Amino acid sequence: MRWSQTLIPTMKEVPSDAEIPSHQLMLRAGLIRQLMAGAYTYLPLGWRAVRKAEAIVRDEMERAGAVELFMPAIQPIELFERTGRKDAFGNVLIQFEVKRGDRSVHLALGPTHEEVITDLVAHQISSYRQLPLTMFQIQTKFRNEERPRFGVLRTSEFIMKDAYSFGTSLEQLDESYQKMYHAYCRIFARCGLEYLPVEAESGPIGGDASHEFMIPADNGEDRIVRCTGCGYAANQERAATGRGAVAAMSVDGSGELIKVDTPDVTSIEQVSKMLGCDARRMIKTLIYQADGKPVAVLVRGDQDANEGKVRRALNVETLELADEATIREVTGAPIGFAGPVGIKCPIIADHDVAQISDAITGANAADAHYTCVNLGRDYQLETTHDLRDATGGDPCPKCDGTLELVHGIEVGHVFKLGTKYSDSLGATFLDEKEKRHSIIMGCYGIGVNRIVAGLCETQHDENGLIWPLSIAPYEVLIIPLNIQDDEVMSIANRFYDELKAAGVDVLIDDRKARPGFKFKDADLIGIPYRLVVGGKGLQEGLVEIKSRTAESPDKVPLVDAIGHLTRLMDEEKAKLAARVPA
């Protein structure tokens, strides 16, 4: 491609509204332009990168035995009502009505396609002989993003590869899941990403039946906890801690239990301010309905309860914050004054709670708190649990190392769905004995444009992007130093033609511009290799070949240039390939 015949609007200045490197660089390098909040056009350079990522994703999906199909973006709202996701998605689900003759039809834009594909399978698959089957598509997904930001990382439409597996047994599910997990590792490695598979909150099947694939990045919105010792990694929500149940179920507090007036002071922050105490000395008491029965969950004042952990600790299916009536019933007070002392429901507490002496809690009375609450004396626990998010400094649950907290960008997710969707949409199969069962499903997503944004976020220097060869919009950039010099252009064009003929993706900067300007743009758009033709070098029969990350260029005789470039590229390809699991 000739620079003059495409659209690569590079920018010198850092756009003021771009907060993070990927957003800044994708704008500056002319990969994207904003149409409106949360909606970006991929310009030719950005789109080439996305298409290369897409091709790798497709290739690995097919290698793993998945077959491609393509479902409508527009879906009937009824399907979401049947699976309960209309409510679960809430404002994120984009819905609208269209007129069809006299009728009004209520539709949604697919945020993913569990409903549509399960409905399809419910109609097309009936026998165990047709299973297992994994199908995928690569498609624009729609989710209303309340607060779009971070460039293409958080937008209301994005390109997703979504795959769905269907099987007759947990064994088939395991096998499909493992194939997808393995394919994901290969995909991200081939894309040149540093990636980290982490355990994630799992569905009803339990176990470590869900993994997220993260790109560690300082500006990532996801929080990951990982152990540098044993390699254990999980998202913060899911991560266990190595903290154990507290042995002695009492604490030595010296203070006397005193009820203090705290009129209208209901939040941890307000109480802490009023009483001048550290939130770490407070016990937060949350009243939940667990499978319909009230339970008080205690965590330290500066911490939050992790509902997944609470649910697992209580071994219940449903868990939701109690309504005001229930809170009044068990505490005898309005919302904001709950505490463990004298509460009329079971109590479950995080490990850290049992370490607080002379704690401050609600008094289960309106406008009142207790100071100097002590375990063993003022309230009782039989044991303690891991009920809060893990964080940096916590002991590792798998070894004697310490967990660290890192940020990441989620690029993929594999999930054992079980029968949630097949149950609600009637996707069943007949087994060898003509007995009917629900089909067991898994789902597997990759944010295709996040692969590109993730690379931009993590692979750059002060001068611009540094693309891996596999995703680079072009592999080689030819820079003729003076386009008005016929000899320079004739040689540059010959290289261009030869590289194209050899199947190399090559861009030639045929703009009438100073060499310094072209070099700056070359670094900014980050093409892996640049080939400079002209100047003093050419008089000596040499061209300059430089990889984006090399300190200085190699000066190579004209006749060796293509061979030299090909060797460098082959080496780089081999390096990338070596990182891909077999």
Residues that bind a copy of itself (CB under 8 A): 1, 4-7, 9, 33, 35-37, 39-44, 47-48, 50-51, 65, 67-76, 91, 94-96, 98-101, 105, 109, 116, 119-120, 123-125, 129-130, 133, 135, 139-140, 142, 144-148, 156-157, 512
Q: Are 421 and 114 in contact (CB under 8 A)?
A: yes
Q: In what order do the strands lie in the sheet with 368-373?
A: 258-261, 368-373, 359-362
Is 158 or 213 the residue whose CB approaches a copy of itself more closely? 158
In angstroms, rounded to a whole number, what is the distance separating the alpha carbons of residues 63 and 33? 34
Q: How far is the CB of 71 from a copy of itself (least distance, A)?
A: 5
Is 98 or 230 the residue whose CB approaches a copy of itself more closely? 98
Q: At a CB cut-off of 8 Å and minimum separation 6, what does 422 contact? A: 118, 121, 122, 166, 428, 438, 439, 440, 441
C-alpha dist (Å) from residue 107 to 81, 178, 472, 488: 11, 35, 38, 59
Q: How far is the CB of 470 from a copy of itself (least distance, A)?
A: 19
Q: How far is the CB of 481 from a copy of itself (least distance, A)?
A: 19
Q: How far is the CB of 33 from a copy of itself (least distance, A)?
A: 6
Q: How far is the CB of 55 from a copy of itself (least distance, A)?
A: 12
Q: How far is the CB of 431 from a copy of itself (least distance, A)?
A: 17
Is 65 or 553 the residue whose CB approaches a copy of itself more closely? 65
Is 348 or 451 the residue whose CB approaches a copy of itself more closely? 451
Give the long-range contacts of residues 57-61, CB within 8 A, separation 24 or more: 57/138, 57/161, 57/187, 57/446, 57/448, 57/451, 58/138, 58/161, 60/183, 60/184, 60/186, 60/187, 60/190, 61/136, 61/161, 61/163, 61/183
Tokens 């015949």 belong to: 5
Is 338 or 452 the residue whose CB approaches a copy of itself more closely? 452
Is 64 or 314 the residue whose CB approaches a copy of itself more closely? 64
Is 142 or 177 the residue whose CB approaches a copy of itself more closely? 142
Is 147 or 536 the residue whose CB approaches a copy of itself more closely? 147
Question: What's the token pair of residue 511?
Answer: 């703009």
Q: Are 503 and 471 in contact (CB under 8 A)?
A: no
Q: At a CB cut-off of 8 Å and minimum separation 6, what does 488 contact? A: 480, 481, 482, 533, 534, 538
Phi (first) and psi of residue 7, to 5 degrees: -125, 100
Is 135 or 196 the residue whose CB approaches a copy of itself more closely? 135
Q: At a CB cut-off of 8 Å and minimum separation 6, what does 42 contact? A: 31, 32, 50, 449
C-alpha dist (Å) from residue 330 to 6, 289, 324, 489, 506: 69, 11, 10, 84, 71
Q: Which among 72, 88, 117 has a CA at the least distance from the CA of 443?
A: 117
Q: How far is the CB of 17 from a copy of itself (least distance, A)?
A: 15
Q: How far is the CB of 194 from a copy of itself (least distance, A)?
A: 26
CA angle 328, 331, 334 (to 5 degrees): 45
Is 145 or 367 the residue whose CB approaches a copy of itself more closely? 145
Is 67 or 577 the residue whose CB approaches a copy of itself more closely? 67
Q: Are 216 and 194 in contact (CB under 8 A)?
A: yes
Q: How far is the CB of 490 from a copy of itself (least distance, A)?
A: 21
Q: How far is the CB of 134 from a copy of itself (least distance, A)?
A: 9
Q: How far is the CB of 512 from a copy of itself (least distance, A)?
A: 8
Q: Which among 367, 294, 374 has a CA at the least distance from the CA of 340?
A: 374
User: Could you tell me where the DSSP H helices lie in 359-471?
Assistant: 420-425, 448-458
